Amino acid sequence: MTASPVAPRRVAVVLNPIKADADVARDAVIIGCRRGGLPDPIFLETAENDPGYSMTHRALEQDVDLIIAAGGDGTVRAVAEALIGHDTPLGLIPLGTGNILARNLGADLGDPHRNVDIALFGSERAIDMATFRVELHDGTTVDHAFCVMGGAGFDAQIMTDTKDELKKLVGWAAYGEAGVRHIFATPRWARFRIDDGGWQSRRVRSVMAANCGILTAGLILVPQAKINDGVLDLVVMSPRSTLEWALMAAKVVFRQRRDLPVIEFFAGRKVRVEFHEPIESQVDGDGMGLITGFESEILPGVLSVRVPPSQAD
């Protein structure tokens, strides 16, 4: 579903103030609003213990017409999760290292002024999100929702252990350094099922529920994934040797169509995954701690996002 938006009357910006271009984004939004004949925007800064949930609810209480998330993937996910059940659209000003949702929606990561124009006056597109309930190793459960993906294993180890100082120096390449440190970790037994189908077991390095397929640096992990198809994709990775890691990396980097037994793709509306022992987890790049299982279910078309005209169809 797409729509031609009406210009907003009141704009709120949930801003991560520690990002390098936070001040640039702040000024660009103010200028964009004034140029468009809008009142100055409301700025709500995130905090160390709150990436944007309460700020988004405060913005909704002020009856704004548009909420812009200016930050990394964590800020975007928090704002998007708080918008579920509301008609208020989301604008994106990507300021992080990964910016994965923005990449999947065709944002120009090198031009914050263009991103502001799109956030304020771009086309609207309804996209899917997905629930993500994790079962912690102490038996409690925690509920979240994601725009991009949630999972456990190698991907979570990378997100958790990537050094912030290195990200500031080399950007997304810092994830590669963390990946090398975990590439030979011990596989874990897991079982999973799609919808209400039968259980399948594997010794895995990573299991991810994905809503879209493009990763950092434009790598396509899940070629068939679409952000508005009402389908949740499950990626099961089980490489055990250097050769199998190399084959899997080549498939992703060079977009090879040949199937590999060490990376499998499944699709459905919901998935459940259980692990034999606690394993690291993440949702949209934020570490969730050690878990023993997770459930995820697609939420079709629950979020309206401002996108470039090229992404409107």
Q: What pLDDT, on a 0 to 100 scale, did the predictor assign at position 216?
A: 79
Q: Give which of 110, 108, 105, 111 is closest to 124, Cα–Cα.
A: 105
Per-residue model confidence (pLDDT) at position 173? 52
Whether the model clears a pTM of 0.85, i.e. scores above it, the answer is yes
Give me the pLDDT at residue 245, please: 75
Phi and psi based region of residue 55 (left: phi greater than 0; alpha: psi -120 to 50; beta: remaining) = alpha
Report the alpha-carbon distance of residue 272 to residue 132 in Å, rounded: 10
The pLDDT of residue 311 is 82
pLDDT in tens, 202-239: 999 999 999 999 987 778 899 999 999 999 999 999 99
pLDDT at 94: 96
Residues of the chain with pLDDT under 70: 1-7, 159-182, 184, 313
User: What pLDDT score was predicted for residue 166?
Assistant: 40
- pLDDT tens sequence across 52-67: 999 999 999 999 999 9
pLDDT of residue 252: 84
pLDDT at residue number 184? 67
| C-alpha dihedral, 248 to 249 to 251 to 252, nearest 10° | 120
- Residues 96/72, Cβ–Cβ less than 8 Å: yes
Which residue segments constitute the domains of the chain, with CATH numbers given?
2-121 (3.40.50.10330), 129-301 (2.60.200.40)
